[in-house]
Amino acid sequence: MVNPIGLRLRGIHHAFALKGQDLPVLEDVDLDVRPGGSVALLGPSGCGKSTLLRLVAGLEPPRRGTLEADGAPITGPDPSRVLMFQDPTLYPWRSVRANAALGLEARGLIRTEGARVDDALRLVGLHEFAEAYPHQLSGGMAQRAALARALVNRPGLLLLDEPLGKLDSLTRLKMQEELVALWQREGFTTLLVTHDVEEALLMAERVLVFSPRPARVVSEIAVDRPFPRHRDDPHLVALRREVLETLGLREAA
C-alpha cells in the first residue's frame, strides 16, 4: 500500500503562448480529490484536460491559481505524482527492465530498492519480458511497461493521460479492468483524462465534464456504483446518456 495523495486546485487559469498570442486553455478550474479517490476528467479532444494533468504533475506552473497536494503547494515534478502518457514513451535503447528502473535510477535508489523493479513488472505481467526491447512489444505490452515504470515509484497519485487511447478495443477493455483492480488494491489516488464517456464511468468515482477550449468544468457527476463495474449496468447506461447530452451529442445518446 502507498500513501494516497489528496488534491486541491483553486482558480486555475492557463494559456499557451502561440506565435506571440495567448491561447487560453484552462479557465477558472476548481478540483478536489480525496486521498485514494478516483476522478475522471472528460471532455472533447484538445480541450485542455491534458494540460491540467501536466500542471498537477508539476511539469509546468499555471498562469494563475493554486495547486496543492496534501496541503503543500505543487512547485515542480515529484516522484509521488507520476504521469502516464497516451504514448508509452519507453526509451527504445533500454530493455523493459531498464525502462521500469528509470525512476529509481534518477533518484539514486537503484542499488537499495532495485527489487521493486521486478515486483512492478510482475504486477503488470511483464516479468517474462524484462529483457525485451520496446520495439519487440505490442501496444498493450508497451503501455503495461509504462505502467510498471510509474508504479516502481510507489506514487501516491497516478495521473493517467488517456493511457489507453491508442490501444485496440479488446486490449483497452482488459486494461480498464486491470487498472481499476490495481487502484483498488494499491490504494493510490487516480486522476484520469479521457474522452471516452464509458471509460470514465467505468473507472472513476466522480466524472468532471469539461467544455471545449478554453476548458471549464461544466458538470460534475458522482458515479455511485461499486467496483468492478459492468458496462451494461442500467445505471451507467443512463448516466452515459446524461453525459453525452451535456457534451451536446443528443443524437449519439
Partner 1 sequence: MSASAEAGPLPAAREARPWRIWAGGGIAGLAWLAAAALVLAWPDADDYGRTELLGGIAATVGLLLLLAGLAGAPGPIARLRPAGPWLVALAAGLIAWELVTAKLDLLPRPFFVAPQALLEVFTDDYAKLGDSVLHSLLLLIPGYLLGATIGFVTGVAMGWSRRVGYWAHPVLRLIGPLPATAWLPIAFFAFSTSRQASTFLIALATFFPVAVLTWSGVASVAGSFYDVARTMGARPWFLIRKVAVPAALPSVFVGLFMGLGSSFSVLVVAEMMGVKSGLGFYMQWSQGWAAYANVYAALLVLAGMCTGLVTLLFRVRDWKLAWQKGVVRW
User: What residues line the site for partner 1 (CB under 8 A)?
Assistant: 54, 57-59, 77-79, 81-83, 85, 87, 89, 91-94, 102-103, 105-107, 123-126, 128-129, 133, 135, 137-138, 140-141, 144, 149, 153, 171, 178, 182
Q: Residue 77 is placed in which grid cell?
A: 515534478
Amino acid identity for residue 111 in this structure: R
Closer Cβ to partner 1, 39 or 123, answer by number: 123
Question: Shortest gap between Cβ of 66 and partner 1 (angstroms)?
Answer: 20
Cβ-in-10-Å burial (0-12, 13-18, 19+) of 212 comes to: middle
- Angle at CA of residue 191, ends 73 and 248, nearest 5°: 120
Question: Shortest gap between Cβ of 140 and partner 1 (angstroms)?
Answer: 6
Closer Cβ to partner 1, 140 or 214, answer by number: 140
Question: Shortest gap between Cβ of 53 and partner 1 (angstroms)?
Answer: 10
Question: Shortest gap between Cβ of 99 and partner 1 (angstroms)?
Answer: 9
Burial string for 115-129 (b: 16+ CB within 10 Å, else e) reads ebbbebbebbebbeb
Closer Cβ to partner 1, 94 or 241, answer by number: 94
Interatomic CA distance for residues 246 and 244, integer angstroms: 5
Q: How far is CA 65 from the centre of its chain?
A: 21
Q: Dmax over Cα atoms in the chain, in whole Å?
A: 57
Question: Shortest gap between Cβ of 75 and partner 1 (angstroms)?
Answer: 13
Bridge partner list, 220: 208
Question: Shortest gap between Cβ of 153 and partner 1 (angstroms)?
Answer: 6
Closer Cβ to partner 1, 143 or 194, answer by number: 143
Ordered DSSP codes for 203-245: H-SEEEEEPSSSB-EEEEEE---PSSP-TT-HHHHHHHHHHHH
Closer Cβ to partner 1, 32 or 131, answer by number: 131
Closer Cβ to partner 1, 101 or 247, answer by number: 101
